[in-house]
């Protein structure tokens, strides 16, 4: 199997100003193509560090992918550095220049500047991969039996170039396919899950690997196999069926998909709709629901009622109840749920109110306390959760638990 290294370039990555999402996306797509990513390296806009990374990674991998440092400003040093590293000289590429001019004429509605035109200069010993989404082209180099591909760091542009480069890499290295089968479980921890399926895991042949992937109160189980044996997919499917049977009491989905996709599909299958009333999550649950294509078929809307005042005015929660019980209480979330259903006329509802931190907790209601109400017009059930993470993670956990309660509610009312 061909091996790859990913080098991301930019001071902004090292100081945490920008999160590196490029590497994760690239690794996923390369894996699908039968190329194993074995190393990921981040370096700053420093000439020596970039050169050292190139030397180190070419000794470890057949494919070295670089993103970043190809912009038109003085801190973008990657292109002249690559020109030096591969012993070339910068020349104006007319095809790239025409593409840049068309981009500025049709999209930006302004003429190209000298700085933009400089983007069309590429090393004369590289193979250009056109960037149809921006000005910096991709560049393919070959040296010492290794392939180097340099791309812009803008995710949208990088993806466009990778979509062209991956077929070229597959042809170059004659890669074998990698097969994955993934399921998602809830309601059982990773260690207990491992004990539960130990006999299944021990029976797996050496060419099928099992991975445990815990995330936000759930655990994904992934079976992986690679090779060109025509019976491989059948064997993988057989083992996956055994795995599903072993975890059937905790199975959420037998697809590698988020929980919001699962509940969306259930709502569509039943022809039902959902609304939300959110306090502590501030619309995050609604964002997850509407991130799914086709969600307009089942999503009615949401009330973001963060304050006492908005809960009273929009959801008719009694002022006396808020004063006596507090916003984070069983009584209030039930009232929020009823109010959202009444106002929006949906079939199902999620309502949440909590203390996500870092402050705001009390001895009776410490940080991480969340009440949620989920159900339909005939039955709304309240649940209390106690999360123990930072504010962002507590919000994510709240959303996932609320969606999972909704999933179970939908299954119960089948």
Which pLDDT does position 177 carry in this prediction? Answer: 80
pLDDT in tens, 90-124: 999 999 999 988 888 887 677 888 888 889 999 99
Which pLDDT does position 352 carry in this prediction? Answer: 98
CB 39, CB 6: distance < 8 Å:
yes
Q: Which residue has the higher pLDDT, 203 or 1?
A: 203
Which pLDDT does position 255 carry in this prediction? Answer: 96
Q: Is the pLDDT of residue 414 over 70?
A: no
- Helix 47-58 vs helix 78-85: angle between axes, to the nearest 10 degrees? 50
Count Cβ atoms below 10 Å from residue 93 Cβ, excluding itself: 20
pTM, rounded to two decimals? 0.83
Query: Hey, what are 340's tokens?
Result: 């959202």
CB 2, CB 35: distance < 8 Å:
yes
pLDDT in tens, 195-233: 999 999 999 999 999 999 998 889 999 999 987 787 899
Find the mean pLDDT for residues 288-315: 98
In terms of DSSP bridges, do strands 127-129 and 209-215 run parallel, antiparallel, or are they unpaired? unpaired
Torsion angles phi and psi, residue 103, rounded to 5 = -60, -45
Domain 259-412 has CATH 3.90.950.20: yes
Q: Is the pLDDT of residue 320 over 90?
A: yes
Which pLDDT does position 289 carry in this prediction? Answer: 98
Determine if residue 13 is left, alpha or beta; phi over 0 gives left, psi from -120 to 50 gives alpha, anything else beta. Answer: alpha
94 CB-near residues (< 8 Å, 6+ apart): 120
Which pLDDT does position 64 carry in this prediction? Answer: 98
Torsion angles phi and psi, residue 18, rounded to 5 = -130, 135
Q: ∠108-103-150 over CA atoms, to 5°?
A: 120
| DSSP letter for each residue of 218-272 | EEEEEEEEES--TTHHHHHHHHHHHHHHHTTTTEEESSS--HHHHHHHHHHHHT-
Beta bridge partners of 378: none
Determine if residue 69 is left, alpha or beta; phi over 0 gives left, psi from -120 to 50 gives alpha, anything else beta. Answer: left
Q: How confident is the model at residue 58 (pLDDT cuts 50, 70, 90)?
A: very high
The kind and range of the H/E element at 146 are strand 146-151
Q: How confident is the model at residue 194 (pLDDT cuts 50, 70, 90)?
A: very high
Domain locations in the chain as residue ranges: 2-173, 178-253, 259-412
Q: Which residue from 154, 132, 128 is spatially nearest to 141, judged by alpha carbons?
A: 128
Cis peptide bond upstream of 358, omega within 30: yes
Find the mean pLDDT for residues 400-405: 97
Please give the share of the chain, as a percent, with pLDDT higher than 90.
Answer: 87
Query: Hey, what are 314's tokens?
Result: 């929009």
Which pLDDT does position 131 carry in this prediction? Answer: 95
Query: Can you name the CATH fold of 178-253?
Result: Alpha-Beta Plaits (3.30.70)
Query: Hey, what are 221's tokens?
Result: 């189980």
CB 120, CB 154: distance < 8 Å:
no
Residues composing the chain:
414
Which of 118-122, 261-265, 386-390 has the weakest average pLDDT?
118-122
* Mean predicted lDDT score pLDDT of the chain: 94
Which pLDDT does position 113 carry in this prediction? Answer: 84
Which pLDDT does position 221 carry in this prediction? Answer: 98
Q: Is the pLDDT of residue 410 over 70?
A: yes
Find the mean pLDDT for residues 329-356: 98
Find the mean pLDDT for residues 148-169: 97
Q: How confident is the model at residue 128 (pLDDT cuts 50, 70, 90)?
A: very high
CATH architecture of 2-173: 3-Layer(aba) Sandwich (3.40)
- d(C-alpha 204, C-alpha 239), whole Å: 8
Determine if residue 148 is left, alpha or beta; phi over 0 gives left, psi from -120 to 50 gives alpha, anything else beta. Answer: beta
């Amino acid at each position: 199997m061909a091996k790859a290294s990913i080098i991301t370039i930019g001071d902004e990555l090292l100081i945490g100003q920008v999160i590196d999402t490029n590497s994760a996306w690239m690794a996923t797509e390369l894996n699908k193509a039968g190329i194993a990513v074995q190393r990921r390296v981040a370096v700053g806009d420093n000439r020596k560090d970039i050169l050292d990374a190139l030397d180190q990674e070419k000794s470890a991998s057949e494919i070295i992918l670089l993103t970043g440092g190809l912009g038109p400003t003085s801190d973008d040093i990657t292109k002249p550095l690559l020109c030096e590293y591969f012993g070339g000289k910068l020349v104006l590429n007319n095809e790239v220049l025409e593409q840049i001019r068309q981009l500025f004429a049709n999209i930006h509605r302004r003429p190209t500047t000298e700085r933009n035109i400089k983007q069309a200069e590429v090393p004369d010993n590289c193979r250009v991969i056109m960037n149809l989404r921006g000005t910096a082209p991709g560049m393919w180099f070959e040296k010492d039996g290794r392939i180097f591909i340099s791309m812009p760091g803008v995710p949208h542009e990088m993806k466009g170039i990778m979509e062209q480069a991956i077929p070229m890499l597959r042809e170059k290295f004659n890669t074998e396919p990698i097969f994955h089968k993934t399921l998602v479980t809830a309601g059982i921890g990773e260690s207990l899950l491992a004990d539960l399926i130990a006999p299944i895991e021990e029976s797996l042949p050496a060419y099928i690997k099992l991975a445990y992937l815990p995330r936000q109160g759930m655990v994904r189980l992934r079976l992986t196999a690679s090779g060109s044996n025509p019976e491989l997919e059948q064997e993988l499917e057989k083992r996956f069926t055994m795995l599903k049977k072993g975890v059937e009491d905790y199975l959420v989905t037998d697809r590698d998909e988020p929980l919001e996709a699962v509940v969306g599909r259930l709502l569509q299958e039943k022809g039902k709709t959902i609304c939300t009333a959110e306090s502590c999550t501030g619309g995050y649950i609604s964002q997850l629901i509407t991130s799914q294509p086709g969600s307009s078929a089942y999503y009615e809307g949401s009330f973001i009622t963060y304050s006492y005042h908005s809960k009273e005015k929009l959801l008719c929660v009694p002022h006396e109840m808020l004063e006596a019980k507090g916003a984070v209480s069983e009584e209030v979330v039930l009232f929020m749920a009823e109010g959202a259903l009444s106002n929006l006329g949906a079939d199902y509802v999620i309502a949440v109110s909590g203390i996500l931190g870092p402050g705001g907790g009390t001895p009776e209601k410490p940080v991480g306390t969340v009440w949620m109400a989920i159900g339909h017009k005939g039955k709304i059930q309240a649940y209390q959760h106690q999360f123990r993470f930072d504010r962002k993670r507590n919000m994510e956990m709240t959303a996932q638990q609320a969606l999972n309660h909704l999933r179970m509610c939908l299954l119960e009312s089948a």
